[in-house]
Amino acid sequence: MVERIMLFRLVDTSSRDEIAALTLKSLSNLRLLEELSVGLPADDASAKSWDVSVVMGFSTQEELEIALASPAFGNYLQRDMEGRYEVLKAWSFTRLA
């Protein structure tokens, strides 16, 4: 399993719930996606740095790359999220267990 972890710092922190719901809706039907988790900060320390977390799971790195290059993912970042975040950080990890 390969996980793609994305963290967003939003322009307007009051939109966290709305962005989380939009993210679930927009990414849940992403081709080749096996797992999706969207989260909000659980404590003050987390909330100072990040507003929304996204973890997507794929069977292989190749499938992840296909999904990231897809129009659906591009639409999410360009149409749904454009102007709504200040910072986006993303990393990929191979899950061991």
Rounded CA separation 64/59 (Å): 8
> What CATH number corresponds to the domain at position 23?
3.30.70.100
Q: Is the pLDDT of residue 41 over 90?
A: yes
Backbone angles phi, psi at 30, to 5 degrees: -60, 130
Q: Is the pLDDT of residue 19 over 90?
A: yes
Q: Token pair for residue 38?
A: 């969207």
42-76: buried (b, 16+ CB within 10 Å) or exposed (e) per residue? eeeeeeeebbbbbbbbbeeeebbeebbeeeebeeb
Rounded CA separation 52/87 (Å): 11
Number of compact structural domains in the chain: 1
Whether 72 is in a domain gets the answer: yes
Whether 45 is in a domain gets the answer: yes
Q: Please give the pLDDT value at position 87.
A: 97
**Average pLDDT of the segment spanning 34-54:** 97
- State which residues form the domain around 47: 2-92
At 97, is the pLDDT very low, low, confident or very high (cuts 50, 70, 90)? Answer: confident
What digits encode the pLDDT tens for the residues 46-61? Answer: 999 999 999 999 999 9
- Residue of 62, 2, 59, 67 lying closest to 30 (CA atoms): 67
Q: What share of the chain in percent tops pLDDT 90?
A: 99
Whether 97 is in a domain gets the answer: no
- Residue of 71, 50, 53, 69 lying closest to 61 (CA atoms): 69
